[in-house]
Amino acid sequence: MIDVQYDYPFSDFLIVSGACLGVVVALMVLTAVLTKITGRVSVVDTIWGLGFIVVTVTAVVLGRTIGSQDVGVAWMGYAPLDMIDNPFDEQHFRGFLLIALVALWGGRLAWHIARRSHGAGEDPRYEELMAGGNGGVVHLIRKVLLPQGLAIWFISLPIQVTALSLTHVTPVLLVGVLVFAIGLGFETVGDAQLAAYKKDPNRSGVMDRGLWKYTRHPNYFGDACIWWGLYLVCASSWPGVFTILSPVAMTYFLVFATGARLLERTMMQRPGYPEYAARTSMFFPLPPKR
């Protein structure tokens, strides 16, 4: 069941979306400064998760603020008495839920990446992207910051739209939370299994244990589930259902653009990895081939 809101405030959405875009620009400026301080472009990976948290908080808080100015009656479809009797459930539930979910995912991801990259050199993927740019700011913006900033803004569109939508607990919303939980589980367990494997002195040449036995990239698969789950939470109300291109774009990035495919170029050079790839699904978890 999806809540249909016939009088959606599109003009207010432009304010919310514009504010989110401004926040993203500020984050990318901060990221540019951090790359110069640390000498590592890969710091942008830590900002990635934190950026979605900031955008979500901005969208939800601003959306609720704009709504309260209009008393929420004309465009939220509620009578004043309904809002007074149950203001948290009716006005704020999904906003608080989205902040909690995105903070849980983004905070864990940022902490994991920051801890993993502490003391390490530059990521080979960024070395490849920055090759030929002579370390210039324009090259950094064109190759890394602009694509990353636009990706954060576009992928977060479901959250921006739903910040001004009706709030009810529906089956679609509950399914979204379930898909999100599956994705977070894949990310968390997969990262923990990989960390344990790296500490094992008797490890084999290729990580093929646990979730890694069924997919070569359980963390990327989990990330896709995260954003399909968040999309379903947002799509439980009009007009969030029309923002489906956002999770599609995220999945494309994870599989083909900056995620699995790009990483595979390096991994295929490791002994034993081509054989592992031949028997293990690249993305969606499947039983290994014989």
Average the pLDDT over 135-149 and give the result. Answer: 83
Average the pLDDT over 25-38 and give the result. Answer: 90
Work out how many domains the chain is built from and give that number.
Answer: 1
Q: Is 39 left (phi over 0), alpha (psi -120 to 50) or beta?
A: left
Residue 226 and residue 156 in contact, taking contact as beta carbons nearer than 8 Å = no
The per-residue pLDDT for 77 is: 40
Domain assignment present for 288: no
**For the chain, what is the mean pLDDT?**
83
Domain containing 224: what range? Answer: 10-279
Domain assignment present for 66: yes
The per-residue pLDDT for 289 is: 85
Domain assignment present for 287: no
**pLDDT digits over 80-132, tens only?**
334 334 444 555 788 889 999 999 999 999 998 888 877 677 666 777 777 76
Domain assignment present for 90: yes
CA–CA gap between residue 44 and residue 10 (Å, rounded): 32
CA–CA gap between residue 66 and residue 265 (Å, rounded): 47
Residue 237 phi, psi (nearest 5): -140, 145
Domain assignment present for 1: no
**54 or 118: whose pLDDT is higher?**
54
**137 or 20: whose pLDDT is higher?**
20
Domain assignment present for 290: no
181's tokens: 């939980």
Question: Residue 68's pLDDT band (boundaries 50, 70, 90)?
Answer: low
Domain assignment present for 4: no
Question: How far is the CA of 169 from the CAs of 77, 110, 166, 177, 260, in angstroms?
Answer: 16, 29, 10, 11, 35
Domain assignment present for 285: no
